[in-house]
Amino acid sequence: MVRLLRIFFRLQLVQLRSALEYRADFWIAAVGAILQQLVSIVFLLTFFGHVTSLGGWSLWQILVLQGLVMAADGIREMFADGVWKLRADVNDGSFDRVLVRPIPPALQQFTALASIHGIGNTSLGLVVLVLGLARSDVGWTWWSVPVLVLTILCGTVLTASISFLTNMIAFWEPSAQSAFPTLVALMRDFAKFPLDVYGAGIRIVITVILPYGLISYYPSRLVLGVGDSPGWWATTPLIAAGASALAASIVWRRGLNHYQGVGN
C-alpha cells in the first residue's frame, strides 16, 4: 500500500509539473475556476441582500457548506481527474495500454490527468470555509477541526468515487459523448445548501442514492451547533465515502471483466 501511494503521488507530481510548464495556461485555468465558483457566491450575496436566513441558516453558515463542497471537489480535480478520461480511453482503445502495465489499472486511470482548475477551486473553497466559520457563532471544541478535515477528505473520496462510477458506463456503452456522468456530478451542487430547503424526494437522492449531503450538511450542523445535532453525525462523511468507494470498487471489477477491447 505504501508503494502504491508513493507511485500515485509521483505520477500526479509529473502531471502537475507538465501543467506548470505553461505558466499562462496555469493562471488562466486557476483564475477561471475561481471566477466560475464565484458566480454561486455572488448569487448568495444577492439573495441574502433581501432575506436574513434560508431554511434557518444564515449566509455565513451556508458559506461553510459551500466551502466544504468546493474544497473537496477541488482536491478531487487535482488528484483524481483522470477518471473523466475513462470514456474517451475506452472509446479510442487507449485503455488497452493500462491493462498491460505492472501498475493497478485503477491507479493509472486516477492519475491520467491532474486538473489545474482544482487548485483554484480548492483555494477558494478553503477561503470561503474559513470566512464562513469566522463569521458564524461556532462553539469550538477539540474535535471541531478534525471533523472539518475529515469531512473534506471524505468528500474528496466521495466525489472521486461517484465520478469514477458514472464514467464506468463506458464499459457497457462505449460512447465518449454521454451526458450522464456530468448530470450526476452537477447533483453535488445541492449539497451547497441546507437540506431543509428541499423536498423529501431530493433529500433522499442526495443522502441515500448520491450521498453528497452526508459530507456537508450533517457535519456542518454538528460543528456549527445548528439544532439538535447528535455526535454520531461526525461519522456520516465516513459512511458516505466508504460506501461510494466500495461500490466503485465492485463495479470497476465487473467493468474490467466485461471489457473486450476496442476491436471486439
Digit-coded pLDDT (tens) for 206-236: 999 999 999 999 999 999 988 777 888 889 9
Cβ contact 8:110 at 8 Å: yes
Could you give the count of Cα atoms lying within 13 Å of 254 in the half-sphere of its Cβ?
10
pLDDT of residue 242: 94
pLDDT digits (tens, 9 = 90+) for 251-263: 999 998 888 766 5
Query: Structure pTM?
Result: 0.88
Cell 478531487 sits at which residue? 76
Q: Where exactly are the structural domains of the chain?
A: 2-258
**Phi, psi of 58, rounded to the nearest 5 degrees:** -80, 170
pLDDT of residue 26: 67
pLDDT digits (tens, 9 = 90+) for 184-206: 888 998 999 999 899 999 999 99
Q: Where are the alpha helices (DSSP H) in the chain?
A: 2-20, 23-47, 59-80, 86-92, 95-100, 105-110, 117-135, 144-167, 180-186, 200-204, 217-224, 236-258
Q: Is 56 left (phi over 0), alpha (psi -120 to 50) or beta?
A: left
Q: Name the residue among 261, 231, 256 with its Cα closest to residue 105.
A: 256
Low-confidence ranges of the chain (pLDDT < 70): 1, 19-20, 22-23, 25-26, 29-30, 33, 174-177, 261-264
pLDDT of residue 91: 84
Cβ contact 106:137 at 8 Å: no
